Amino acid sequence: MMADMVASGILNQWRALGALAGLVTSSCFLAAPGYRGAKDGHFDGHEFVNLEKREAHSVASAMALFVFTSRPAWEQRQVMPTVPPRRVAHGELRITFVNHATMLVQFDGLNVLTDPVYSDMVGPLAFAGVQRVHGPGVALADLPPIDAVLVSHNHYDHMDLPTLRSLSRTHAPRIFAGLGSKRLLDEEGVLGGEDLNWWETSELAPGIRVTAVPVRHWSRRGIGDTDNTLWCGFVIETSQGPLYFAGDTGFGGHFRMARERFGPMRAALLPIGAYKPESFMHSSHMSPDEALDAHRELESQLSIAMHFGSFQLAFEQQGEAEARLLAEAARRNVSGFVVLDPGDARTVAPLGQQAQR
């Protein structure tokens, strides 16, 4: 019996290794075209760099980790989608957690979607990647008119091209992303792409601006295109205070920089998942404890957790990130950081007032 179990385990490992090798091979042909432009403080002419060092891991080390380390099992769960309002009034802010890093942000008569992912699987191939464990909290067909989309970087679970193509056809939004991203979007038939550099601003409506801000992460879609497009977070200056969207990031001084430039945040959308093993992940993904640190650094009136529970991207138990965040917040006596179920929403008061449901 033991020999059969060992043999079965080895067979499963080789199957996983073969599948991952297939993904790596296919991704050679799916590399992002990359940015071409002048050097600056975070672009050396070929690659972008972080403000703070991020430990780089080779493809081989990543393959070894994900093939030969046992991950806890996640179960499929059911979600009851909700239907958001078509618009909210000037001065109002309503945030709906859709799934993963996808948030519907409604404010001042505008609708913005962050890192929209509606695909059943994320990866370089439609049939090979990471399968979602629950459906979106708002159906694609039930989205209100989308005026703008924020794409933090080009990883498959954040720049989901099938979803972006659908949004481009049905909503024709402006799509903001880091330098070099527009070339890929154009090539993939996604209209409306606009590149932003860190600290570069674009006007969404009179008096409403979106600014790309530094985060600590990286980019890659295939082999040979590592860090050739820019990753970023975003700050939206609403009529009643700024909103921060982190995308994917490790913890770092960029949170304080955003706070110093824009002031305390009316709301912040912060990632808490895909952080284990922390020795491998910490420089590009935050733990729940670090997300609480970011909440403090941003002086956020209300922070909403994201990047957890939808796709099993790392090695924590199902539900572990959410539980750890809430337990650590209670231990530190920190308020104003919430975990929402997919489809749930929060209405956020103007800056300086208490957040509401």
Q: Is the dihedral of CA 256, 213, 285, 341 positive or negative?
A: positive
pLDDT in tens, 103-115: 999 999 999 999 9
Q: What is the largest CA-CA distance in the chain?
A: 70
Q: Is residue 29 part of a domain?
A: no
DSSP tag of 41: T
Structure tokens at 170: 């049905």
Structural domain includes residue 304: yes
Q: State the CATH number of the domain containing residue 117.
A: 3.60.15.10
Omega before 277 cis (within 30°)?
A: yes
Q: What integer is the mean pLDDT of 1-18?
A: 37
In 3D space, the residue among 134, 10, 159, 158 whose CA is nearest the CA of residue 74 turns out to be: 134
Q: Within a domain: residue 238?
A: yes
Confidence bin at 352 (pLDDT 50/70/90): confident
For 118-160, write each residue's pLDDT tens digit: 999 999 876 778 999 999 999 999 999 999 999 999 999 999 9
Which residues is 183 bridged to in the sheet? none
The CA R_g of the chain, rounded to the nearest whole Å, is 20
- pLDDT score of 9 more than 50: no
DSSP 155: S
pLDDT digits (tens, 9 = 90+) for 212-239: 999 999 999 988 899 999 999 999 999 9
Tokens 């957040």, residue located? 355
Number of C-beta neighbours around residue 272 at 10 A = 29
Assigned domain for 237 exists: yes
63 — pLDDT class (breaks 50, 70, 90): low
In this predicted structure, the answer to whether residue 355 has a pLDDT above a threshold of 60 is no
Whether 302 is in a domain gets the answer: yes
The tally of domains found in the chain comes to: 1
Distance (Å, rounded) from C-alpha 271 to C-alpha 322?
A: 11
What's the Cα-to-Cα distance from 160 to each of 119, 191, 329, 355, rounded to whole Å? Answer: 7, 14, 32, 31
What was the pLDDT predicted at 66?
58
Task: Examine residue 143 and state whether it is found in any structural domain, yes or no.
Answer: yes
Q: Which residue carries 């909700």 as its tokens?
A: 82
Question: Is residue 63 included in any domain, yes or no?
Answer: no
List, for residues 288-320, the tens digit of each pLDDT value.
Answer: 999 999 999 999 999 999 999 999 999 999 999
- Which residue's entry shows tokens 């056809």? 169
Return the pLDDT at 125: 77
Beta bridge partners of 111: 106
The answer to whether the CB of 168 falls within 8 A of the CB of 159 is no
How much is the pLDDT for 30? 73
Model pLDDT, residue 101 = 98
Backbone angles phi, psi at 194, to 5 degrees: -135, 120
pLDDT mean over 336-353: 94
**Between the ranges 55-59, 68-72, 221-225, where is the mean pLDDT highest?**
221-225
- Give the pairing type, strands 102-107 and 267-271: unpaired
Amino acid at 215: V
Q: Which domain holds residue 285?
A: 93-347
* Tens-digit pLDDT profile for residues 320-342: 999 999 999 999 999 999 999 99
In a domain, 290, yes or no: yes
CA 73, chain centre distance (Å): 23
Task: Judge whether residue 13 has pLDDT over 90.
Answer: no
d(CA 265, CA 243): 6
